[in-house]
Amino acid sequence: MDSPLAPQILAIEVPLRSDPSVSRPVRVLSIDGGGVRGYLPALLLAEIERRAATPASRLFDLVVGTSTGGIISIGLAAGLSARSLADFYPTHGRRIFGGAEEPVWKTRLLGTGGTFSERMGAAARRLGGPFGGNPDYGGNARHRPDGLEGVLRDVLGDTMLSQAAMDIAITSFDGLSATPVVFSRRDARTDASWDLPLRDIARATSAAPTYFPPLKIDWVGRTCHFIDGGVWANNPSGIAVSESLILTAERGLTGRSVFLVSLGTGTASAGAAFDGTSSWIGSAGDLVKTATSVAAGELLARRAVPEQNYRRLQVVDNRVAGAMDDPSSQRLGVLKAAAGDLIRAKNADLVEIVARLVP
């Protein structure tokens, strides 16, 4: 098979007992948020799947995701191959975000609508975005949800969370009650109120503020406005560790018997924040960057999982950390090239990881 250019991942497992008959460590996958940059971890998973000659859904016991990483996680749990999930971005990107292959300046000015009226609507949303509150243009959202919802409906159908083929945990946030939310198959199988369609959960985890309007539904006796889980857990590794505790307990293992693979979606080099020299606008920007940072999840995972049982695979490149809603061939080409570079650089690691993941 041809190898897809993909980002890199690393997983590790070190049994805490010498008895070879003891259950192996729980294999956990965690995938960050990042919009169209989800192409990176999807390509990496496709490469792992190719090398393992095993569906990616069978390589992990638990998958945890936020936003675009949540969509990939849900896709795996719905039985889709990693290869098809990698194809998701070039195949459906335009339907989700609109637009066409054209000069960047025109897209920046008129937005990404397919028709003239849609373009003017996008421009109006951009101009009105700072003020918000315009129901005709989705409040302050840049994109109407129709395309995304249609794609999720076509790809996921009517499959319910309780019917997922593997354990999953997906982040979201209820804006009305200011409450973090985690949707898990475990909860859906014990409490019917949590058993929502996978397409709704995918929409809830990916409703990034200013990009898409919230998912507004009645749930557990109240009205909820679900927005992107990235506002509190853009790197859900800490949640992955927490969710894995039940699985390790079921196998008679300790909570440290976890083989955790954490996939990033690309980031720029870190810079200073809250150094006391910025204007209040600059400090507000620092606050937003901190809230959506992936560093907190990595810190929690590193403190909870033995070093030899944790691998964080991330591309650090200013070119990669660009727009999250640009599915142009040029943008996807940059992401694909970065994924290929990472695969080549981490080939030895991938060989070892695949050996440990194969059932």
The Cα 111–Cα 97 span in angstroms is: 10
Let me know: does 28 contact 259? Beta carbons within 8 Å: yes
Number of other CB atoms surrounding residue 51 within 10 Å? 18
248-286 burial, b for 16+ CB within 10 Å, e for fewer?
Answer: beeeebebebbbbbbbbbbbeeeeeeeeeeeeeeeeeeb
Let me know: does 174 contact 181? Beta carbons within 8 Å: yes
For residue 263, what is the enclosing H or E element? strand 258-263
Closest alpha carbon to 327 in 93, 34, 151, 83: 93
For residue 334, what is the enclosing H or E element? helix 329-345
Q: Which residue matches tokens 């200011």? A: 178
228 is catalytic: yes
Q: How many residues are listed for the chain in this entry?
A: 359
The catalytically annotated residue of 228, 317, 325, 326 is 228
The catalytically annotated residue of 30, 67, 206, 262 is 67
Give the side-chain half-sphere CA count within 13 A for 266.
Answer: 32
The Cα 263–Cα 217 span in angstroms is: 30
The Cα 198–Cα 70 span in angstroms is: 10
The Cα 215–Cα 202 span in angstroms is: 10
Tokens in use for 83?
Answer: 């290869």
Closest alpha carbon to 226 in 291, 145, 287, 290: 145
Q: Which residue matches tokens 């810079």? A: 271
Q: Is the dihedral of CA 334, 340, 345, 346 positive or negative?
A: positive
Cα 293 from chain centroid? 13
The Cα 85–Cα 102 span in angstroms is: 25
Q: Name the residues annotated as catalytic.
A: 67, 228
